[in-house]
Amino acid sequence: MPGLEDLYKEIILDHYRNPRNRGELPPPACKTEGFNPLCGDEIVVYAHIVDDQIVDIKMGGQGCSISQSSASMMSQAVKGKTIDEVKQLTNDFKAMMSIPGKGAASSSEADSAEAIAAAKAAASAGDAGNIAATTAGAAEKPDLSMGDLSALKGVVKFPVRIKCAVLSWNTLLEAIEQAEAS
């Protein structure tokens, strides 16, 4: 049985205790809400997107330490990034959570069982940097660092909590889709 120290790293608790980029943004920023219908967690994303770039982002909602710290770290990681970079980062993060990638940077390899297995192996080996290369293919990939986010890799050992960790990312993707549609 994995120990809780794999899950509740100090940096995660720090983001939970002191969430970054907490608040709201007025229109024209997009606002999207994400819910986890199983546990009731909620995430609100305010993303101000100008010329394919996230120029500002604020986060709201309430939930467990994993969902809220992931949201806080995500907001730091994506601020100032281009949409393509954010989609890449999302794929990388989901790969770390052993979820096959899709979207702009996905490859057929990323959907394969081997890629997932490799992601899991990399996650347990503790090298988050390798995961993106393994699953999304190294070519044409922007150089993106997972930074604090790699602290969440222990979540993969607690499969029930993976949906907590990815809730904010899916909610951000919806905001991006909304911006792209308008």
The residue ranges that bind another protein (CB under 8 A) are: 1, 3-4, 7-8, 13, 16-17, 38-42, 62-67, 158, 161, 164
**Quick one: three-class SS letters along 35-83?**
ECCCCCCEEEEEEEEECCEEEEEEEEEECCHHHHHHHHHHHHHHCCCEH
Q: Which is nearer to another protein, 7 or 11 (CB)?
A: 7
- Distant-in-sequence, close-in-space partners of 94: CB < 8 Å, separation ≥ 6: 100, 101, 166, 169
Q: Which is nearer to another protein, 110 or 155 (CB)?
A: 155
DSSP states along 130-175: HHHHHHH-STT------GGGGGGGGGGGSGGGHHHHHHHHHHHHHH
- Beta carbons of 57 and 45 less than 8 angstroms apart: yes
Min dist CB 40 to another protein, Å, is: 4
Map tokens 């909620």 to a residue. 42
CB atoms under 10 Å from CB of 117, counted, come to 12
- Distant-in-sequence, close-in-space partners of 98: CB < 8 Å, separation ≥ 6: 116, 119, 120, 123, 156, 162
Min dist CB 62 to another protein, Å, is: 6
- Beta carbons of 142 and 78 less than 8 angstroms apart: no
Min dist CB 174 to another protein, Å, is: 19
Min dist CB 153 to another protein, Å, is: 16
Min dist CB 71 to another protein, Å, is: 13
Min dist CB 156 to another protein, Å, is: 14
